[in-house]
């Protein structure tokens, strides 16, 4: 409904803006508007899928868009307009300084749209395109009213110089609906403010045009909305629809020609011998040098070095130089994944995607890379409060779980040592204990920071479905009850609300890794306080 209101509002503004033209065919204008918006939305959908699957930078979209648009419009010009073309007409009807400003404006608008393409969905991008139209219309109507007399613009362009009541109403409805619209997992209001600011900067780049004040010819020569003079408006409609259609076809071909999957290897180092330990890193865009140091420290531990560890990095950030990351870490694999569910989603996906390969007897080697190692060390791109002494005791056969982060003894039903309640931890207990809740008054040892080692046998002790239950909860939309009924004061104060990239359930999973892998006994905290070498659980 909210999306419909956006387009209904702009539609009303289109009607209000064109109704003063006696020779305007209203159904044609509205039809072109609807067609262009539909094609633009399709193009954005295909574009987003292509960028996501190919792991390309969003700026690539501008290159494709520019090349396809130039090709399509050049062909259309050659077929329909070349016979009537003359430089005399160009010199008489075109203001090159205005065209230059128009092109600059168009580029800036598209770049500002690219800034949000990785943060939201194609529907939101289409709405931002609508917002761009509103900004352009209001901005230029305001500027023209300052630079020239309204009646001169009317006579020169034979078009709308002032915004009428219906346009105010239509654009008002569209703007209110845009701010009302909430895209799951995205703080759209912040993106809207950013988008408005960027485009207003572009609009006010036109302030130096004051020297054209009183020159009605200027208004005839430029119509920024379509980047051409008004008398070519019909051609612009034709070229716009054709260009959007061609771009849609190109991006649909690019998107469907690529296979999709849960995660994609974008880099792989095959020059490694057989390994029995995977080091899995959930990386956002932390300092690569610090990650290099931490990996070096881990690998230098004799007990880990003896297992010839492989490094697998899952990248969730959008501004990561993958070549530099691979060079600094010597990673065996680098995979780009969606930024959802915190580090817990990354770990669980790693397990879930390899689970059946191990159950079916898949082995390590050229045809069995995507299987679980005998042991897996999980940590984040910037580990904190590491207790590496627990790893020096070795990972001998039979060791099931070793936490290398902070630990604390807390009651299942809260409050914990900081006075916080974790109601979802008991839900995790229920998932791994045949649907039963823990008894009142019982305690467990919380794990912190998502830093631990677990054996393959201990992972496979749980069914694949239990991991899927947690994954589904971490992937739940922001309207799901898991984001609403489980909030607590400190989370609200620090993060405001639970989102797909930072769900409150993800914080609960962080504290429950020991519980998931059968190493959360209340006595464990005291044991670990006394001895690093004894701070571990054996396989069941």
Instruction: Say what the pLDDT of residue 10 is.
Output: 58
Highest mean pLDDT pick, 96-105, 123-132, 148-157, 190-199: 96-105
Instruction: Say what the pLDDT of residue 182 is.
Output: 43
Q: For the range 64-68, what are the long-range contacts, defined as Cβ-Cβ under 8 Å and sequence gap of 24 or more?
A: 64/247, 64/250, 64/251, 64/254, 65/110, 65/247, 68/243, 68/246, 68/247, 68/250
Residue 347 has pLDDT above 60, yes or no: yes
Residue 343 has pLDDT above 90, yes or no: yes
Q: What is the pLDDT of residues 364-406, one digit of tens each?
A: 443 345 789 999 999 998 887 778 889 888 788 789 999 998 8
Nearest by Cα to 254 from 37, 75, 68? 68
Tell me whether the omega of the peptide bond preceding residue 415 falls within 30 degrees of 0, making it cis.
yes
Mean pLDDT (the chain, rounded) = 69
Q: What is the pLDDT of residues 74-121, one digit of tens each?
A: 777 777 767 777 777 666 655 566 566 656 656 665 555 555 544 444
Confidence of residue 338 (pLDDT cuts 50, 70, 90): confident
Confidence of residue 459 (pLDDT cuts 50, 70, 90): very high
Q: What is the mean pLDDT of residues 125-130?
A: 53
Instruction: Say what the pLDDT of residue 470 is.
Output: 95
Cα–Cα distances (Å) from 295 to 83, 389, 482, in that order, read 67, 15, 35
Q: What is the mean pLDDT of residues 409-414?
A: 78
Residue 221 has pLDDT above 60, yes or no: no
Residue 456 has pLDDT above 70, yes or no: yes
> How far is C-alpha 383 from the geometric centre of its chain's CA atoms?
24
Q: What is the mean pLDDT of residues 150-160?
A: 41
What percentage of the chain reaches a pLDDT higher than 90? Answer: 21
Q: What is the pLDDT of residues 43-71, one digit of tens each?
A: 656 665 555 555 455 555 556 666 666 77
Q: What is the mean pLDDT of residues 340-362?
A: 84
Residues 6+ apart with CB under 8 A from 430: 436, 437
Residue 416 has pLDDT above 90, yes or no: no
Q: What is the mean pLDDT of residues 419-423?
A: 74
Q: What is the pLDDT of residues 291-314, one digit of tens each?
A: 999 999 899 999 899 999 999 999
Phi, psi of 26 (to 5 degrees): -60, -45
How far does the chain reach from its first CA to its final CA, in angstroms?
A: 54
Residues 6+ apart with CB under 8 A from 143: 203, 206, 207, 209
Residue 453 is inside which H or E element, if any? strand 452-455
> Measured between alpha carbons, how far is 429 from 438 in angstroms, rounded to an integer?
7
Higher pLDDT, 25 or 335: 335
Least trusted range by pLDDT, from 232-236, 240-244, 428-432:
232-236
> How far is C-alpha 241 from the geometric centre of its chain's CA atoms?
28
Q: What is the pLDDT of residues 256-289, one digit of tens each?
A: 444 334 455 555 555 455 789 999 999 998 889 8
Q: What is the mean pLDDT of residues 26-41?
A: 59
Residue 454 has pLDDT above 80, yes or no: yes
Instruction: Say what the pLDDT of residue 513 is.
Output: 95
Confidence of residue 496 (pLDDT cuts 50, 70, 90): confident
> How far is C-alpha 394 from the geometric centre of its chain's CA atoms?
40
**CB-CB contact of 404 with 453 (8 Å):** yes
């Amino acid at each position: 409904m909210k999306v419909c209101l956006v387009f209904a509002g702009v539609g009303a503004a289109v009607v209000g803006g064109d109704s003063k033209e006696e020779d305007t065919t209203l159904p044609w204008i509205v039809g072109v508007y609807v067609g262009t918006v539909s094609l633009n939305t399709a193009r954005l959908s295909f574009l987003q899928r292509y960028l996501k699957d190919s792991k390309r930078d969003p700026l690539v979209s501008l290159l494709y868009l520019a090349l396809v648009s130039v090709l399509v419009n050049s062909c259309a010009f050659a077929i329909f307009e070349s016979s009537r073309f003359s430089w005399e007409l160009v010199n008489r009807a075109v203001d090159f300084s205005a065209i230059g400003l128009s092109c600059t404006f168009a580029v800036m608008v598209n770049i500002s749209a690219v800034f949000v393409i990785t943060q939201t969905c194609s529907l939101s991008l289409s709405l931002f395109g609508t917002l761009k139209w509103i900004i352009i219309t209001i901005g230029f109507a305001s500027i023209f009213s300052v630079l020239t007399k309204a009646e001169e613009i009317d006579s020169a362009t034979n078009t709308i110089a002032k915004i009428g009541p219906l346009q105010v109403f239509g654009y008002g409805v569209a703007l209110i609906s845009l701010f009302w619209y909430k895209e799951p997992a995205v703080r759209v209001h912040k993106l809207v403010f950013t988008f408005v600011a960027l485009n207003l900067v572009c609009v006010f780049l036109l302030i130096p045009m004051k020297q054209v004040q009183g020159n009605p010819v200027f208004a005839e020569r430029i119509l920024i909305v379509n980047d051409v003079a008004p008398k070519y408006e019909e051609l612009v409609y034709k070229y716009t629809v054709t260009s959007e259609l061609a771009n849609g076809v190109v991006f649909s071909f690019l998107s469907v020609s690529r296979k999709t999957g849960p995660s994609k290897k974008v880099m792989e180092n095959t020059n490694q011998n057989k390994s029995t330990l995977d080091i899995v890193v959930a990386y956002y865009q932390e300092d690569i040098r610090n990650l290099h140091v931490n990996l070096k420290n881990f690998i230098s531990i004799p007990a880990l070095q003896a297992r010839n560890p492989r490094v697998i990095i899952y990248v969730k950030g959008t501004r990561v130089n993958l070549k530099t990351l691979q060079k600094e870490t010597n990673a065996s694999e680098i995979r780009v994944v969606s930024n959802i569910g915190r580090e817990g989603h990354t770990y669980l996906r790693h397990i879930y995607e390899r689970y059946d390969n191990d159950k079916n007897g898949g082995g390590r080697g050229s045809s069995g890379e995507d299987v679980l190692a005998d042991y897996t060390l999980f940590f984040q791109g910037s580990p904190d409060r590491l207790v590496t002494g627990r790893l020096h005791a070795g990972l001998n056969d039979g060791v099931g779980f070793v936490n290398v982060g902070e630990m604390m003894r807390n009651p299942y039903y809260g409050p914990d040592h900081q006075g916080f309640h974790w109601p979802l931890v008991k839900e995790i207990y229920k998932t791994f204990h045949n649907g039963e809740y823990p008894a009142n008054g019982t305690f467990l040892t919380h794990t912190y920071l998502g830093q631990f080692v677990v054996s393959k046998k201990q992972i496979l002790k749980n069914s694949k479905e239990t991991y899927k239950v947690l994954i589904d909860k971490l992937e739940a939309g922001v309207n799901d009850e898991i984001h609403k009924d489980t909030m607590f004061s400190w989370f609200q104060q620090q993060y405001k609300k639970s989102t797909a990239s930072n769900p409150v359930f993800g914080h609960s999973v962080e504290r429950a890794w020991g519980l998931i892998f059968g190493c959360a006994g209340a006595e464990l905290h005291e044991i670990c306080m006394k001895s690093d070498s004894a701070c571990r659980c054996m396989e069941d």
